[in-house]
Amino acid sequence: MAQELSAEQIQQVLQGISVPPQPQIMVDLQMEQFLPNPDLKTIARLISQDPGLSGALLKIVNSPFFGLSNRIASIQQAVNLLGCNSVINLINAQSIKGEMSDETIVILNRFWDTAQDVAMTCLTLAKRIGYQAPDEAYTLGLFHNCGIPLMLKRFPNYMTVLEEAYFNASSERRVVDTENRLLNTNHAVVGYFTAKSWNLPLHLCEAIANHHNALSFFEDDTGRDAQLKTLMAILKMAEHICASFRVLGNQDEDHEWDSIQQHVLEYVGLTEYDFQTLKESIHDLGAG
C-alpha cells in the first residue's frame, strides 16, 4: 500500500539533490499530473528516463520515513510505494529547483541522452546474459555518470576536460586520471557520493565509484564480488554499444573499451563475434 508523504516531508528529504531534471521530461510529467486520472505507469516510465528525478525518488523511498529493510533500486517499485500524490509532490518540488540557461541545457543533453540509452542497453544486456536483477542494471546505467552535471556546475570548462580524459584513456591511464590531474577530483567520485546521498544500494554506489576502474577489477583474480563484476561488465558493454566515448568524449575511437574488451567478454563468456552480433541486435531494437 502506498505511503503518502507531504510536500514538506519531500522537501526535507530532497535537501542536497542537485542533478537537474530534463526540461522536456518535466513538461511531460506536469501534463500527465493535470489529467483527471494521472496514470502511475506513465509517470514511472517518464521518471525512469531521468537520473535527477529517479535519484530524488529513490532517496525518498530509501529514507527513514519508510524504514524499509532493504534498499530499493527499481523506479517502478518506488513509484508504487510512494503513490500518486507523493510522486506529484516530488515532481513539483523538483520543478522549482531553478532555471537553467539554454547553453547549459544543450551541454547537459549529452549527459541525459547517454544516461537513457545506456540504461536501456544495460537492461537489455542483463536479460540477455541472465543477470538476476535487470532493474539494478538499468539503475546503474541511468546513474553511472550522475557526477557529470555536478562537475559541470563546479567547473565551467568540465566538458573540455572530459573530452581530453576520453582521448587519453588507455590501459595505463584511466578516464578519471586526467580529471584528477586537472581538477583534483572526478565524476566517478562525485557520482559515488551523490548515489550514497540518494540511498542507492551500496553495491551500485561501488559500481558508480569504479566504473572507470574496470581494468583493475577484471585483472583481480582474488574472488572479488561477482555481482559487482557482472554489473561492471554489463555497464562497460553498454557504454561501448551506446558510443559514450563519442557523445560525451567527442572521440572517434573507444580507447577505454580497447583496453578492457578482452577481460569483459571473457568474464561474461562472450566471443568478439557473439558481442558484435549482440551489439547489432540491440541497435536494431533501437537501444544503444
Position 2 in a domain: no
CA distance 205 to 71: 12
Q: How confident is the model at residue 98 (pLDDT cuts 50, 70, 90)?
A: low
CA distance 125 to 239: 11
Question: Are 193 and 262 in a shared domain?
Answer: yes
pLDDT recorded at residue 66: 75
pLDDT for residue 164 is more than 80: yes
Position 28 in a domain: yes
Q: How confident is the model at residue 1 (pLDDT cuts 50, 70, 90)?
A: very low
Q: How confident is the model at residue 8 (pLDDT cuts 50, 70, 90)?
A: low
Q: 196-214 pLDDT, tens per residue?
A: 888 888 999 999 999 999 8
Q: How confident is the model at residue 220 (pLDDT cuts 50, 70, 90)?
A: confident
Question: Are 252 and 118 in a shared domain?
Answer: yes
Position 235 in a domain: yes
Question: Are 12 and 134 in a shared domain?
Answer: no
Q: At 147, which CATH number?
A: 1.10.3210.10
The one-letter amino acid at 156: P
Domain that holds residue 186: 102-285
Question: Are 278 and 160 in a shared domain?
Answer: yes
Q: Which of 95, 111, 137 is the last residue of a domain?
A: 95
The one-letter amino acid at 7: A
Question: Are 64 and 127 in a shared domain?
Answer: no
pLDDT recorded at residue 2: 56
Total domain count for the chain?
A: 2
Whether the Cβ atoms of residue 78 and residue 58 lie closer than 8 Å to each other: yes
Position 1 in a domain: no
CA distance 236 to 243: 11
pLDDT for residue 14 is more than 60: no
Per-residue pLDDT averaged across 8-16, rounded?
57
Q: Which of 62, 95, 128 is the last residue of a domain?
A: 95
Lowest mean pLDDT among 99-103, 122-126, 135-139, 166-170: 99-103
Position 150 in a domain: yes
State pTM to two decimals.
0.82
Q: 25-81 pLDDT, tens per residue?
A: 888 888 888 888 888 889 999 999 999 889 888 888 888 777 777 888 888 888 888
Per-residue pLDDT averaged across 136-165, rounded?
92
Question: Are 84 and 120 in a shared domain?
Answer: no
Question: Are 172 and 66 in a shared domain?
Answer: no
pLDDT recorded at residue 6: 63
Position 133 in a domain: yes
pLDDT for residue 96 is more than 60: no
Question: Are 91 and 123 in a shared domain?
Answer: no
pLDDT recorded at residue 115: 92
For the chain, give the mean pLDDT: 86
Q: Which of 25, 60, 95 is the last residue of a domain?
A: 95
Position 138 in a domain: yes
Position 242 in a domain: yes
